[in-house]
Amino acid sequence: MQLPHEATLLRIFLGESDRWEHRPLYEAIVLQARERHLAGATVLRGAMGFGKSSRLHTAKILCLCMDLPVVIEIVDSDERI
């Protein structure tokens, strides 16, 4: 695979519980990026965050949240992103 000298970063924010066809959405997105031979993808699981509802999601032991924030970062050339 030829890696670009300059790359574009695509950042996708979603929740850990988001699903697509009975699998985690982040998994489906990364597998699709790999299938399309994009340069790279990483899934980052957040320790704390909130979205449009302002409801706080946290990984603290006393608040076992099942919908932690997830960030997917995909990199490749501008045209491929």
Question: How does pLDDT run across 55-73, given as a tens digit for each residue?
Answer: 777 776 655 566 789 999 9
Q: Report the CATH number that the domain containing residue 27 is assigned in CATH.
A: 3.30.70.120
pTM across the whole model: 0.82
Q: Within 13 A of 26's CA, how many CA atoms are on the CB side? A: 21
3-state secondary structure the chain: CCCCCCCEEEEEEEECCCEECCEEHHHHHHHHHHHCCCCEEEEEECCEEECCCCCEEECCCCCCCCCCEEEEEEEECCCCC
* 27 φ, ψ (degrees, to nearest 5): -65, -45
Domain holding 26, by residue range, is 8-76
pLDDT at 31: 98
Structurally, how many domains does the chain consist of? 1
Share of the chain above pLDDT 90, in %: 59
Q: Confirm whether 55 is domain-assigned.
A: yes
pLDDT computed for residue 75 by the predictor: 96
